[in-house]
Structure 1
Amino acid sequence: MAKNKFHTGPGPSQRQLRVGELIRRRLSDVLMHGDVHDPDLNRMSITVGEVRTSPDLKVATAYVLPLGGDKAEEALEALNRNRAELRRMVAKGLALKYSPQLRFVLDDTFDRMDATRRLFSEERVQRDIATTHEDDDEL
C-alpha cells in the first residue's frame, strides 16, 4: 500500500494535537471578543469545538457551531468571508513558523450524540444490552 505523505500513522501526533488546541483557544478568544471587523460575525456567538491540523501544520480545520445551532450556514459563510483576517489574528497570538490556512466545518458532534442517545433508548437495543449484562453476570 502506498504511503500518503499527509498521513503519518493511526492518528494525529502530539504536536498536531497541541498546536490544534492552541489554535482553538486563540480562535475562540478572537471570536468571543469580537475583534473581527465584520458586524455580522460579531453578532454571532460561535463555539469552536475542535481544531485539527495537517501533519505539516499548514492547514487547520476548525469545527464550529453557532450557539444553539441556529443559522449555522450563515455563520459558516461569515467565517469563510473573514478567513484571511482570522488567520492573521490567530497567527499573531501564536509562535508558529507558518500561519496555518484556516478551514471551517460545521461541528456535528452534538447531532451524533443525540442520534446515539436515541439509538440506545430504543427497546430492541435495551433488550440486547440487558441480555449482554445477564451473560456477563453468569461468568
Structure 2
Amino acid sequence: MKLTKTLPYSRPERVAEQLKEILASACLLELSDSRLDGVMVTKVIATKDLRQARVYFHMLEATKRKIEKAIHGFVSASGYLKRVVGKNMNLKYVPEMKFFYDDSFDEMDRITQLMNSVEAHP
C-alpha cells in the first residue's frame, strides 16, 4: 500500500501565500512610490496553472482617487515586482499580476457601525 502525503492546501494556495509575503515585504521595504504609501497586500489568488495572480491590497483612508493612484503605482512597479518574485520563488513562470482594492475591511467597518447603531437605539 502506498501512502501519500496530503498537504493542507493546494499548490496554487501555497504559492499565493508565499507571493503575498514577498509582495508585502517589497511594498513595505523596497518600493518608494508615493502612490503606494500605506498600502498593505491582503490576499493573493493564483490560477491553477500559476500563470496569473490577483493581488488584493488595502489602504487606510482610501478614496476612489487614492485607490486608482495605488493601482497605477502597482502597474508601474509590476516589472520590478516580477523580478523580486522571480528571485525569491522557484517557479517556471512568474505569474502575471493584476491588482485590485480589497474592500472587505470597509465592508466590515460598515457592518460594525450598523450593529453599534442598532445596539445604541434598541
Q: TM-score range by the shorter chain?
A: 0.7 to 0.9
Render the CA deviation track for 1:89-127: whole Å, top value 9, x for unaligned: 122111112100011000101111022223434549x98
Letter in 2 for 1:120: M
Gaps of 5+ in 2: 1-8
Report the Cα distance in structure 2 between the residues aligned to 1:109 and 1:91, rounded to whole angstroms. 29
**Cα RMSD over matched residues?**
2.4
Normalising by structure 1, we get a TM-score of 0.68
- Structure 2 counterpart of 1:16: 12
Report the Cα distance in structure 1 between the residues aligned to 2:20 and 2:79, rounded to whole angstroms. 16
Q: CA deviation at 1:73?
A: 2.0
User: Alignment length, in residue pairs?
Assistant: 111
Are 1:58 and 2:54 counterparts?
no
- Percentage of matched positions with identical amino acids: 28
Are 1:101 and 2:96 counterparts?
yes
Letter in 2 for 1:40: S
- Structure 2 counterpart of 1:78: 73
Report the Cα distance in structure 1 between the residues aligned to 2:15 and 2:33, rounded to whole angstroms. 29
SS of residue in 1 equivalent to 2:98: strand
SS of residue in 1 equivalent to 2:83: helix
Report the Cα distance in structure 1 between the residues aligned to 2:35 and 2:112, rounded to whole angstroms. 32
Higher RCO (CA 8 Å, separation ≥ 6 residues): 2
SS of residue in 1 equivalent to 2:21: helix
Report the Cα distance in structure 2 between the residues aligned to 1:50 and 1:39, rounded to whole angstroms. 21
Gaps of 5+ in 1: 1-12, 128-139
Render the CA deviation track for 1:34-63: whole Å, top value 9, x for unaligned: 2x4x54356x13100011111111111111
Letter in 2 for 1:89: V
